[in-house]
Amino acid sequence: MDTLELWKAHSEEVYFFILKRVKETTIANDILQNTFYKAHKNINKLENLDKIRPWIFQISRNEIADYFKREAKYAEKLNDKDEKASGSYQDICCFDRFIEDLPVHYKSVIEMIYIDGKTQVETARLLKISLTNVKARIRRSKSILKQRFKECCKYEIDRNGMLTGEADCAKCID
């Protein structure tokens, strides 16, 4: 499998996995790029291509851990200088609320796959629905989430269908 195929097959799923943990789009994009760079460099070392998905998620978990270690060291240095450390990241505008507001049948699929890290096949088996149905629910959920981010938080959607820009949400300014 080449890097482009790997990216097409897993980037969106890995992105949401990372975003849920770091809660900032720019950091999530950086970690996503690092993840796929390392996957590209080391894919020839992977012995079993059936394990490529868990392998990529492990790389992303390591990248997330490295990010938080770097942030902790940075905050420690600031505290040593008796300076107040500003927040290392801001919460992604309305993310948790939008997930909670999804219809139950969409929310369960999104949580199982992007938050709990289950595969689409496992999710289909656990929910006793077809794999095609799981994929359709993911597509519909993402469409709903993108639309809500666009309407409520004033994010833009780029030509690749990814959210861009900064949040401009009256609900989150409080």
Phi, psi for 70 (deg, rounded to 5)? -60, -45
Q: What is the pLDDT of residues 158-168, one digit of tens each?
A: 777 776 766 66
pLDDT, residue 172, reads 62
Q: How far apart are CA 98 and CA 8, in angstroms?
A: 25
Domains along the chain with CATH numbers: 1-90 (1.10.1740.10), 93-174 (1.10.10.10)
pLDDT at 82: 44
d(C-alpha 111, C-alpha 25), whole Å: 19
pTM of the complete model: 0.47
Cβ contacts of 6 within 8 Å, gap of 6 or more:
36, 39, 40, 43, 52, 56
Which pLDDT score, from 0 to 100, does residue 57 have?
Answer: 92
pLDDT value at position 87?
36
Q: For position 75, what pLDDT does the model report?
A: 61
What does the CA dihedral 121, 123, 127, 131 come to, rounded to 10 degrees? -40
**Per-residue confidence (pLDDT) for residue 157, from 0 to 100:** 74
Distance CA 129, CA 55 (A): 26
Residues of the chain with pLDDT under 70: 1, 73-93, 163, 165-168, 170-174
User: What's the Cα-to-Cα distance from 6 to each of 64, 74, 116, 136, rounded to whole Å?
Assistant: 19, 33, 21, 21
Can you tell me the distance from the alpha carbon of 65 to that of 59, in angstroms, rounded to the nearest whole number? 10
What region does 68 belong to: left with phi over 0, alpha with psi -120 to 50, or beta?
alpha
